[in-house]
Amino acid sequence: MGKPRIGMVGYYGYGNYGDELFLKVFAKYLGDFEPVFLQDSLSRPFYTTPLAQKMATLDGILIGGGDLVIPNYWTAQYFEDEFLTLPVFMHGIGVPTWGGEDPNVVKRLQSFFQHPNVRHIHVRDVESQHWIDQKLAPAIPVQLTPDIVCALDLIPVTRPAKPPIFGLVTRKQRPGSIGWANIRRLCDRAKMLGYKLRHITLATGPIAEEDREGLKEFEYEGMQMVNSEALDDLTGAIGECTVLASMKFHGCIIAAMYGVPAISLITTDKFKNFYKLIDRPELIAHHTHSNLDKRLAFFPTKIPGSTIRELRNGADQGLIKLREVMVSAIKTRSS
């Protein structure tokens, strides 16, 4: 008898750094299960084979991680009714509230979250936990630990002392919308302080191509460019930095787990919630802020080892709990 087959539901296959790291973490903890990727396409319709037909070959559904509980938009990817014919486990999910709410979307989410086949709900920040409790009223408790990427086994790195490295991570946005003048002043300050400048394209596949296309708006002489289709190369490139500035959330997470302070260049919920969790509000900034360069301290304060251990231990315990719930629910279903 083979391993139980688990349908993997998330933003997978696009090359988004954080989502691909989720798969590495799940592989570490869920070796008892065979992952099955459900999407047939990276654009609508995402499921060209009828979902009911797919469900017949599976033993459970794992949804997450990431900001998948979107209150104002139904994606037709993450919370489809057909999933509820099987035990459903949600782990590492977040709620991006900055876009507002659509009552019809919230009602559909309520129906999904309250279904008896939903066996596990786990979120990465207390703000998402409160929103789900208050707006969706699930029948089971909402579990909370730090982002699951905090449990990733990091590759060893050697961080050069001279010159130290200032890392920059950007992403493609609407043309002309990024505050490149502010980012340039930030890079100028880093250069003045003696840093070697490094731009990391923190993605693979199609998203990496988009990010490189967006970077054509910004040229900075002497900046090292890091591009790779290997996640470990990108992770190591962050770990070698002394300080980072990132438009990508999991760039900030990985930096923190290496002890590297990372200035956020976006201020959406997940960034603010994470920096609130680790008590580092001075690292919250936005690429449109005219005083962005002032966020780079003369002597950047590292993320303490105690904070790193707390994040890792919390994420680890949450994933151990997920495995226990999955084993129990699938064993009960098959008996």
Domain-located, residue 63? yes
CATH number at residue 137: 3.40.50
Domain-located, residue 258? yes
pLDDT per position as a tens digit, 210-238: 999 999 999 999 999 999 999 999 999 99
Same domain, 178 and 125: no
Domain-located, residue 154? no
Same domain, 38 and 121: yes
Helices 305-334, 17-29: axis angle to 10 degrees equals 60
Same domain, 124 and 208: no
Using an 8 Å Cβ cutoff, are 155 and 236 in contact?
A: yes
Same domain, 318 and 193: no
CA separation (Å) from 10 to 6, 79, 93, 259? 13, 10, 10, 28
254: containing domain? 165-303
Same domain, 326 and 283: no
The sign of the CA dihedral 23, 274, 270, 177 is negative
Domain-located, residue 149? no
Q: Which residues of the chain have pLDDT under 70?
A: 1, 335
Domain-located, residue 128? yes
Q: Which amino acid is at 81?
A: D
Same domain, 73 and 171: no
Same domain, 207 and 135: no
CATH number at residue 184: 3.40.50.2000
219: CB partners within 8 A, 6+ apart? none
Same domain, 292 and 251: yes
Nearest to 109 by CA among 75, 136, 137, 133: 136
pLDDT at 1: 65
Spatial distance between the Cα atoms of 229 and 207, rounded to a whole number of angstroms: 11
Domain-located, residue 158? no
Same domain, 183 and 292: yes
Neighbours of 103 (CB within 10 A): 9
Same domain, 69 and 126: yes
**Number of domains composing the chain:** 2
Same domain, 21 and 97: yes
Beta strand 142-144 with 165-169: parallel, antiparallel or unpaired? Answer: unpaired
Same domain, 13 and 126: yes
Domain-located, residue 205? yes
Query: Residue 13: which region, alpha, beta or left (left: phi > 0; alpha: psi -120 to 50)?
Result: left
Spatial distance between the Cα atoms of 177 and 138, rounded to a whole number of angstroms: 38
Spatial distance between the Cα atoms of 203 and 19, rounded to a whole number of angstroms: 10
Domain-located, residue 202? yes
